[in-house]
Structure formats: structure tokens, C-alpha cells
Homo-oligomer: A and B are copies of this chain.
Amino acid sequence: MAAVRDGQAGGGPPTLSGGTGPLGGAPPHRPTLEQVARRAGVGRGTVSRVINGSPRVSERTRAAVEAAVDELGYVPNRVARALAAGSADAIALVIPEPETRFFAEPYFSGILHGVSSELARADMQLLLTLLHSQKEQDRFAQYAAAHRIDGVLLVSVHADDTLPDLLAEARIPAVLNGRRSAAEPLPYVDCDNVGGARAAVAHLIARGCETVATITGPPDMYAARCRADGYREAIRDAGHPEDELLVAPGDFTEESGHSGMRRLLADRPGIDAVFCASDVMAAGARIALREAGRRVPDDVALVGFDDSAVARHMDPPLTTVRQPIDEMGREMARVLLELLGKWTPGAAYPAPPAQPAPSPRPPGAGDRTHRVLPTELIRRGSS
């Protein structure tokens, strides 16, 4: 203990390095809670109470402690806090390696942005974890449990992913971005893929297109299936004939969009519109159309999904379905925070002294942990 004190006793307030000039001054000694307490002439517990905003502190004392905190430039050590409190004040955003392509999309940046800003409000830290191998993926739940993080945010979940279950088993709160199936038991935040696809196709039909095809995403992703479902619903709603040859399977890659389009052109030369389940596939399809000498949108109208960067830069710019990405990120963070008890939706309201019976949840919207956000059709030149 004496050793600790030395660093400070030697030369005045530790964090006045601003006064002594850059790089020249005192050693970068970080004051501890104990030192703040001594300075303020109070006990450790009291300082702890003040910095945690406990109401059980007198005004006088609080002011004294705050002054000491300022003078010393005290910032609590999060590691110590985490150890003592048993919670890390950090959550991990987990991305399986194969999904890193995904990074380059505004999608990812939007999620990140939303998550980050919501987390900042709760003063929690964001850990980014790329799982490079299947082994890492399997071990992740175990590591996560080593108390370094309080919860997990999972993006780009596939139907056969086991990680969510591993996390559930390990009792680690997790929120998925998207769901694995219609009956996803875990908390998730998704967008209305069915509705978005439906709106896109309805738009094409309203525009006068007769033969509307689609290029789908990989069937092991629920979002892809939903988009295909939306397509079918819109076709049915319009009373158009259902034709399975108008449905080309893709896998969200540009290449699959290209080959899917070629297949469609070969099977059904008369198509005059295509709904692609992703913008990237639409870009591939656009190339195939150009190769086939079809003009967009005059010969074939094109609509994508995602509103990614390529959409705006295609020629003509691509009509597409936008997801409320930033909001999805925020929502994921909120759901997780709520799960952790770190965030109360109605925290601003006076505390409910006597809560009435469990408030009945609106049907469909289900519990607070299953959320589906609306999409929006962005019209551009391709349709």
C-alpha cells in the first residue's frame, strides 16, 4: 500500500499532466477509489455510492466526493468493477467468419452503428468477435461464459447454426439478428422480409409487369425463404399464375444472380420483371440481362433487396427494399440490455409502486424479445 502512495505523494495531483506539458510530466498514475475517499475525507463505500449515483448520500458528502473526483481526475477501473460486481458491462457482437463479406455492406455498418450508439447510452462496451473457424465457434460459448461479457448479439444466423443453442445452454443472454425459423425461441430482431418482398413484387405488378420472376436467397436462411414467400403471396394476390420456373434459386452472391438470371431467361424468355432477394444478386442479374441484350427497365424491370451500396451505383440505379438497419441495431441492443436488466423501457416514468397484473401483450407482437421491424420500398430507375 505504501508503494502505491509513493507515486502520488511525490508530486502533487497525478493527472495534472496537462499543466506540466505534453509527455513531460508525472507518471500516468491512476487514482483509485481509496485515494478519492481519503482525499474527500470519507470511506470507500461512500465514494462508491456517489459514483454509482446512489440516493443514500447527503448533499454535502456528495459534493465533497465529486470535488475529489474532479481534482484527482478519477475514472473507475472497469475491470475491478466488473470483477467485484460479477458483470462485465460489455457485450459481444459475434460474426461467423464466412459472413465477413457482409462487412462491406451498409447493412453491417448500420447494425454496428445502431448497436454502438445504444450501448454507449448504457455505458456498455462493444466487443467485436470474428469466429474464424468452426472450432472457434464451438468454443465461443464457453469462452463467453468466462465472465468477460454479459451478453451476445449474433448476426447473420443460418437455420442450422448451433451457436445460438450453445449460448442458450450456457445461459448467456443472446439476441439474434434475424431468426432461424418461424418458431425461433431465442430473442431476435428481424425485419419484415415477407412484407418487403411482397411490396416489391406488388410494385412491379402495379407497374404493369406480367411475368414477374424471382431469384431467391439460400434456403438455409429464413430471411431468404421469407422473401420468396413474399414474392409468392404478391403473385397470388394479383391473381397471376404461380409458375415454379419463375423462381430461380440463388445464394445471395453476385455469381448466383448472374446464373439465375440466365436460367430464367432460358426457361421463360418472356419475363418482364425480376425480384432479386438481394441487391448483389440483382447486380449479377443485371450483367446477365446486358449480355442478353435486354434493357432495364424497358425490357425487364429489376428490383433488389437491402438497399446496399451497389444499388445506388448500378446503371440504372436499382429499386430496392430498405430495412431499418440502424434501428435494427439499436433494437438488438435494447432487447439485450433489457434482458440483462440494464435498461428499463419505462425508466423515465415514476417507479410503479404497485404494478397491476401482468400487462397483456399485444398478440402477434409477442413478447418483448421478438421484434419485427417494417421495411420500405425505395424506387429508383430500374423499375
* Residue positions of A touching B, CB distance < 8 A: 1, 3-4, 6-8, 12-15, 17-18, 21-23, 25, 27-30, 73, 75-80, 82-83, 86-88, 90, 93, 100, 103-106, 108-109, 112-113, 116-117, 120, 125-130, 132, 136, 142-143, 145-148, 165, 168-171, 173, 283, 309-310, 313-315, 339-342, 344, 347, 351, 360-361
Contacts and interface: CB of A to CB of B under 8 A. Distances in A.
A96 B174 CA distance: 27
Contacts of A87: 4
Contacts of A6: 341
B351 A77 contact: no
B117 A109 contact: no
Contacts of A168: 22-23
Contacts of A360: 23
B128 A128 contact: yes
Given A21-B171, A116-B128, A120-B132, A1 B344 contact: yes
Contact of A106 (B104, B339, B342): B104
A313 B283 contact: yes
Contacts of A106: 103-104
Given A21-B171, A75-B142, A342-B4, A125 B103 contact: no
Nearest to A26: B169
Contact of A173 (B13, B22, B83, B120): B13
